[in-house]
Amino acid sequence: MSSIPRDQWYVAAYGREIGQELFSRTVCGESILFWRTRAGTGTVTAMSDRCVHRRFPLSEAPSRLVDDQVVCGYHGFTYGADGVCVAVPGQTRVPRTARLKNYPVVEQDSFVWVWIGDPAEADAARIPRAPWLVSPDYTTVSGMEPLKARFELLVDNLLDLSHETYLHGGYIGTPEVAATPITTAVDEAAGVIHVSRHMDDAECPPFYAKSTGLTGRIMRWQDIEYTPPCLYKLHSRIAPLGVLPNEDGSDPGAFHVEVVYAITPETEHTTHDFWAVARDFALDDQGVSDFLAEQNRTVVLQDVAALDVLEQVIDTEPPGYQELSINIDTGGLAARRLLAELAGQDGPAAVHRS
Ligand code: FES
Ligand SMILES: [Fe+2]
């Protein structure tokens, strides 16, 4: 049985990736064709990337887009932006069943979200938000790295940031991250997991020292908010020692970085790892943007390398391996439980061979 929850919204792409040409991406094992329509407001379409005739990929040359119709490059079946076939070769009658599966799609917060599963269940109001990514009060850098590992390994990784000390030393890791206990809370009604680690006297890692200009020791708060399956947010607060938010919630003495990940299963064993870093300081400083983009991509690739190895280990081990979990794993274990519920599985699943 698949561990991928299906009746869910997933990020398929950044809006900037999709223009008026054919674009394909596999989400939850389904190959999906996108383009931005010429007519109207330039909305993004999402339909199956497999021709109903002999399943030739519609994103593959010589398939092509003619206005807002896609013409299959094999025998010429032609489809509209709604996926309905409008012309076939050699006959005037188009079979009634000649239509591509189309997917509910919403463009929001710089992402293109698609609903996988039963379209009748698609409710755009349930898409979790990441407003900083399009806010004029923030500057954002972002990217996507392909991961040759199941998405659960990335969830595990992001819910337990103690690994920063070891895997990301010299970038975002300092001794205090691993040394400071976390608090974990699950909002069952909202389906959100919160994991917090507040370091009130910590070394400033290069990622924040070079971007904020702070030197010496700092306050560093990490507040994770994960909405399974797809959207992970790390609210990161960096401040000089002893500088606290005001009682009304305003926080002018601190630097804020919103680190957002969209965790999208490509297949059972591969994942699209979307990452974005939004900051509320040095908004127009291209040097800071370049630095944070390069640093965060490096950090993501450190995770990718580790998780690709783990996937191989899990994939080749005999069944029955027992993991050992400790306090740092409470967020990850809560995530496994919620993901298992969303996928319709019984009980909290360990990461297992499949
Ligand atoms: S496979 Fe597309 S028209 Fe034949
Ligand atoms: Fe990491």
Distance CA 303, CA 311 (A): 12
191 versus 2: which is more confidently predicted?
191
Taking only the tens place, the pLDDT of each residue in 264-289 is: 999 999 999 999 999 999 999 999 99
Q: How far is CA 249 from the centre of its chain?
A: 28
Strands 23-27, 30-36: pairing is: antiparallel
pLDDT at residue 353 greater than cutoff 80: no
Ligand nearest to the CA of 298: 2
Distance CA 63, CA 84 (A): 16
Centroid of ligand 1 to alpha carbon of 248 (angstroms): 62
pLDDT at residue 92 greater than cutoff 90: yes
State if residue 77 touches ligand 1 by the CB under 6 angstroms criterion. yes
Taking only the tens place, the pLDDT of each residue in 287-326 is: 999 999 999 999 999 999 999 999 999 999 999 999 999 9
Centroid of ligand 1 to alpha carbon of 31 (angstroms): 16
Nearest CA to ligand 1 atom 1: 54
Is residue 271 packed enough to be buried (19+ CB in 10 Å), middle (13-18) or exposed (0-12)? buried
pLDDT of residue 346: 57
Cβ burial 96-122 (10 Å sphere, 16+ → b, else e): eebbbebbbbbbbbbbbbbbbbeeeeb
Average pLDDT of the chain, as a whole number: 96
pLDDT at residue 35 greater than cutoff 50: yes
How many CA atoms lie less than 13 Å away from 47 in the CB half-sphere?
A: 26
Distance CA 234, CA 261 (A): 8
Q: What number is the average pLDDT over the span 236-247?
A: 97
Q: Assess whether the previous peptide bond of 62 is cis (omega < 30° from 0).
A: yes
Q: What number is the average pLDDT over the span 110-115?
A: 98
pLDDT of residue 257: 98
pLDDT of residue 169: 93
State pTM to two decimals.
0.95
